[in-house]
Amino acid sequence: MDVTTDDPHGFVSTGHLPDEDRIAALLTSAVTRFAHVADGDVSDVYPALQRVSPDLFGVALHAADGRVWAAGDVDARFPIMSVSKPFVFALICDVLGVDPVIARVGADPTGRSFNSLAAVEESGGGRTNPMVNSGAIATTSLAMDIARGDAWQFLSSGLSRFAGRILELDEEVLDSARRTNHRNRAIGELLLSTGAIDVHPVAAVDLYTAQCCLAVTARDVAVMGATLADGGINPATGERVVSARAASAALASMAIAGMYETSGTWLLHVGLPGKSGIGGGIVSAAPGKGGLGTYSPRLDTAGNSVRGQLATRFLAHELGLDLFASEPSR
């Protein structure tokens, strides 16, 4: 049962960032502190991802009031990959409503890897959650019902509105992914067999694959996160991209499973909704404050950027972004 309201006078999360000079210094410090970390490896899921320089590292912060800070390789392009998931989820929820989408896709963590087939088989009706591949493919498939023949336009334009600019496909990565995404195709067939999707699985997986191959930068990821943090309004363009309810649902889903099977550890140490991608990006958002985007392609075994996690944890603490941090009232 949906008990939410549209009361414009309801209290919402808010807060203030430190002064501008301190923010700039902290972002520079984050890059300097962790640039030497050589743990992890670039993704080998798709051959094209293996050709990226493992030393790239950038951090950007986009405040809800529109101010921007950046350090490192913030303009390096990389495929958005799974960082797209919360934003597509928000776009679908904006049209269909949060509860109907969750009833179809699921919401709870699986405790398994992001591309697990067992998670689909073990859940009721193939439902997992929108932050793992199976739930994300099911979510993306709903765009085919919403937009019919224009599903790609619906998704690409929606993700571009989150970024505040037109995002382009990385054709090399897309071609590589289409040639080798055998596991996602298996997930698509399994979703169809469980009734989790009702469209052609090959078409659904191909649409999802294209979605993941849009090229972004750390700056783009930061403004996308800031759009969720600002209740669905892009602070760079002033455009309402999705409703406040859809933005809130996306943040909650990120908190639940955005960092895959390590989501609990992330939330404990960082205290922010976050979403990673095997392209090396991480987006996180502090409601009422802004969005943080990091890029570094060295990944841990769960598929999360090693340096990105370290930088986000450091900045969440130093900038006062942790949603669970508090002080005595007196």
Task: Write the pLDDT tens digit of every residue in 100-152.
Answer: 999 999 888 776 666 666 677 677 777 889 999 999 999 999 999 998 779 99
Which of the residue ranges 21-30, 65-74, 142-151, 154-163 would you say has the lowest mean pLDDT?
Answer: 142-151
* pLDDT at 88 exceeding the cut of 60: yes
Average pLDDT over residues 5-22: 68
pLDDT of residue 25: 97
- String of DSSP letters for 138-199: HHHHHHHHHHGGGHHHHHHHHHHHHHTS---B-HHHHHHHHHH-HHHHHHHHHHHHHTS--S
Res. 3 pLDDT band, cuts 50 70 90 = very low
* Greater pLDDT, 315 or 9: 315
pLDDT band at 330 (very low <50, low <70, confident <90, very high): low
Average pLDDT, the chain: 91
Mean pLDDT of 44-71: 95
Closest among 327, 239, 240, 319 to 284, alpha carbons compared:
319
SS3 category, 60:
strand
Q: Where are the domains of the chain?
A: 20-82+216-318, 83-212
Tell me what pLDDT residue 220 has: 98
Check pLDDT > 70 for residue 225: yes
Q: Of the given ranges (23-32, 143-152, 271-280), which has the lowest mean pLDDT?
A: 143-152
Q: 98 by DSSP, 3-state: which? A: helix
Neighbours of 36 (CB within 10 A): 9
Confidence of residue 328 (pLDDT cuts 50, 70, 90): low
Residue 281 to residue 203: CA distance in whole angstroms: 26
For residue 243, CA distances in Å to 91, 121, 176, 301 come to: 9, 33, 35, 35
- With a threshold of 0.85, does the pTM exceed it? yes
Mean pLDDT, to the nearest integer, of 256-267? 92
Closest CA to 58 of 28, 97, 82: 28
Nearest to 174 by CA among 79, 250, 83: 79
**pLDDT-based confidence at residue 7 (cuts at 50, 70, 90):** very low
- Burial letters for 5-22: b for 16+ Cβ neighbours within 10 Å, e otherwise? eeeeeeeeeeeebeeeee
Task: Give the pLDDT of residue 151.
Answer: 96
pLDDT recorded at residue 147: 87
Burial class (CB in 10 A: 0-12, 13-18, 19+), 309: buried
One-letter amino acid identity for 221? V
Residue 17's DSSP bridge partners are none
Matching fold, domains 20-82+216-318 and 83-212: yes
At 13 the pLDDT is 59
Q: Which residues of 90-108 are buried (b: 16+ CB within 10 A; e: fewer)?
A: bbbbbbebbeebbebbbbe
83-212 topology per CATH: Beta-lactamase (3.40.710)
- Of 281 and 195, the one with more pLDDT: 281
Burial category of 302 from C-beta neighbours within 10 Å (exposed 0-12, middle 13-18, buried 19 and up): middle
Query: Position 172: which residue type?
Result: E
Q: How far apart are CA 270 and CA 264, in angstroms?
A: 10
Q: What is the DSSP letter of 67?
A: -
pLDDT at 9 over 80: no
Tens of pLDDT, residue by residue over 189-217, are: 999 999 989 999 999 999 999 999 999 99
The helix (H) or strand (E) run that includes residue 70 is: strand 68-72
Tokens (6 digits) for 16 = 């203030």
Q: What class is the 20-82+216-318 domain? A: alpha beta
Q: What is the mean pLDDT of residues 64-74?
A: 97
Lowest-confidence pick of 36-40, 137-141, 169-173, 322-326: 322-326
Cα torsion angle, 176, 179, 185, 187, sign? negative
Residue in the structure block whose two tokens are 């406040």: 244
pLDDT attached to residue 111: 66
pLDDT in tens, 241-258: 999 999 999 999 999 999
